[in-house]
Amino acid sequence: MDIYSLLEKVKMTLRPDTAAIAQITAFVEEINAAIKAKGYDADCIIGGSVGKGTMLKDDFDVDLFVRFDYSYKDKDISVMLNKILDHLNPTLIHGSRDYFQIQKNFTYEIIPVLNITDYKKVKNVTDMSPLHVTYVKDNLKKKPSLADDIRLAKQFCKASTCYGAESYISGFSGHVLDILVIHYGSFLNFLSAAAEWKAKKVIDPELHLEDPEKELNKAKQQSPLILVDPLQPDRNAAAALSQEKYDMIRQTARAFLENPAEEYFQQKKVDSAYLLQRKKIHKNSLLAVIHITPLEDKKDISGSKALKAYEHIKKEMHANGFVILEDGWRFHPSHTLFYFIVNSIPLPPLEEQEGPPTKNKRHYKEFITKHNTDKLYIKNKRVFAYVKRKYTTIEEFLNAKVVTAYVKERIKKVEKVEFL
């Protein structure tokens, strides 16, 4: 199958059921009736990928924005929205501006924003979100095929684990992919360009700035991709993107273009069966899987804390001399796992510990007194000692380290540790 036929096949699997739109539209009308009854100068609109018309089949959140007239800029519009939604028993979600969640036929997040047309009037970052919807819809009117191309880009990034701007992912946000696909004109053009991106890439789709690297705030230029937001030229839309995810999309784009396959759009289920297959790739290996329950908090917070726990364990493994052949983690709010494929051969019972230079008499004497052993020696005018290793097997190490205070503060509980 050639690449164009393959993409057409994948597009068909990603297009959503239009019946869902009718249900969402009906709920929006209900909220607009409640707004009118309260007498507020506001309206409710569909946001996010649903509002843009780029959502993935059976895989989308429903964001609704209640736009309050700008004359309410000094009012607490979260409180006003609460009064509008009171009859629906909403759940309050704290954020930079409080918003609400309602479970109906879908999980709705209803966000209060100010109705603006000029980014300079923004009072909160969410105020820009309806403008993002308009930007995409305007471009889709000019080129309707972009909706399918944006869906392809999202699914491609989801499958390669680089979708999402949350701090525990540091990947490509939906807004960034919207801009990139629109800028390059198609999904395939975007991938072809990404495959050729160098260590640093600067893109200014609307040519807002003469020199983005000079004109943007330095704090907004830390990511390897600088993408000047078409609607907010003082913002790098890709500021959350990490080097790891940037490199990942470049490498995966090259691999796909060289050998197109449907698997590049399929999200892998990371479970024990999959990980045992990964283990077989490495000789003399042992697979350790840590199952945890994350903290009960917003996904970005609980995910970020779980990531810190994972990184801490990994850092400690290196510090204790274990050779990690492959590792990773998969986050879900109810169940998260960390996995490490390590060399299965136990470490030697003694490890080398570096001491001070011999010319540093005081510290040299303290070192040899502390390590009162016949395993002392001098190398390159520095003293070394062989000392007893605390952990020689990964089982000993993990059984001790997954219950440290640092880890326990960042997760709800460790469910189990498997060694396979």
pLDDT surpassing 90 at residue 220: no
Same domain as 77, residue 22: yes
Query: Where on the phi/psi map is residue 185: left (φ > 0), alpha (ψ -120 to 50), or beta?
Result: left
Using an 8 Å Cβ cutoff, are 298 and 344 in contact?
A: no
**Residue 165: CATH number of its domain:** 1.10.1410.30
Mean pLDDT computed over every residue of the chain: 93
SS3 4: helix
pLDDT for the residue numbered 69: 97
Integer Cα distance of 77 and 67 in angstroms: 9
**Residue 334: CATH number of its domain:** 3.30.70.590
pLDDT for the residue numbered 151: 98
Integer Cα distance of 343 and 20 in angstroms: 49
Domain stops at, among 108, 131, 154:
131
pLDDT for the residue numbered 374: 66
Same domain as 168, residue 113: no
Long-range contacts of 76-85 (CB under 8 A, 24+ apart): 77/112, 77/113, 77/114, 78/112, 80/38, 80/40, 80/42, 80/112, 81/110, 81/112, 83/38, 84/31, 84/34, 84/35, 84/38, 84/40, 84/42, 85/31, 85/34, 85/110
Q: Is residue 11 part of a domain?
A: no
Q: Is residue 319 part of a domain?
A: yes
Q: Is residue 2 part of a domain?
A: no
Using an 8 Å Cβ cutoff, are 219 and 243 in contact?
A: no
Q: Is residue 267 part of a domain?
A: no
pLDDT surpassing 90 at residue 108: yes
pLDDT surpassing 90 at residue 222: no
Same domain as 125, residue 37: yes
Same domain as 190, residue 72: no
Please identify which residue in the block is written with the tokens 């937001």.
Answer: 229
Q: Is residue 1 part of a domain?
A: no
- What single-letter DSSP state applies at residue 55? P
Q: Is residue 4 part of a domain?
A: no
Instruction: Give phi and psi for 46, each to the nearest 5.
Output: -85, 130
Name, in order, each residue with C-beta under 8 angstroms of 287's C-beta and a sequence gap of 6 or more: 275, 276, 278, 279, 339, 340, 341, 418, 419, 420
Overall domain count for the chain: 4
Same domain as 189, residue 161: yes
Q: 298 is written with which tokens? A: 């917003």
Please identify which residue in the block is written with the tokens 């003399």.
Answer: 284
Q: 275 is written with which tokens? A: 């990980």
pLDDT for the residue numbered 373: 64
Same domain as 202, residue 79: no
Q: Which residues of 268-277 are buried (b: 16+ CB within 10 A; e: fewer)?
A: eebeeeebee
Using an 8 Å Cβ cutoff, are 97 and 53 in contact?
A: no
Give the domain range for residue 44.
Answer: 16-131
Same domain as 301, residue 415: yes
Q: 253 is written with which tokens? A: 């784009």
Condensed to tens digits (0 to 9), the pLDDT of residues 280-295 reads 999 999 999 999 999 9
Condensed to tens digits (0 to 9), the pLDDT of residues 109-154 reads 999 999 999 999 999 999 999 999 999 999 999 999 999 999 999 9
Condensed to tens digits (0 to 9), the pLDDT of residues 243-262 reads 999 999 999 999 999 999 99
Q: Is residue 136 part of a domain?
A: no
Same domain as 336, residue 208: no
**Residue 53: CATH number of its domain:** 3.30.460.10
Domain stops at, among 131, 166, 198:
131
Q: 224 is written with which tokens? A: 């390897």
Q: What is the biggest distance separating any 2 CA atoms in the chain, rounded to whole angstroms?
A: 87
Domain stops at, among 84, 108, 131:
131
Same domain as 95, residue 167: no
Same domain as 77, residue 127: yes
Condensed to tens digits (0 to 9), the pLDDT of residues 359-408 reads 888 888 888 878 766 678 788 888 888 888 899 999 999 988 888 889 99
Calculate the alpha carbon distances from 393 to 307, 386, 407, 414 in Å: 24, 18, 20, 20
**Residue 360: CATH number of its domain:** 3.30.70
The residue ranges of DSSP E strands in 70-199, in sequence order, are 91-93, 99-103, 107-114
Same domain as 87, residue 44: yes
Rounded to two decimals, what is the model's pTM? 0.86
Q: Is residue 177 part of a domain?
A: yes
Same domain as 171, residue 117: no
DSSP per residue, 301-336: HHHHHHHHHHHHHHHHHHHTT--EEEEEEE--SS-E
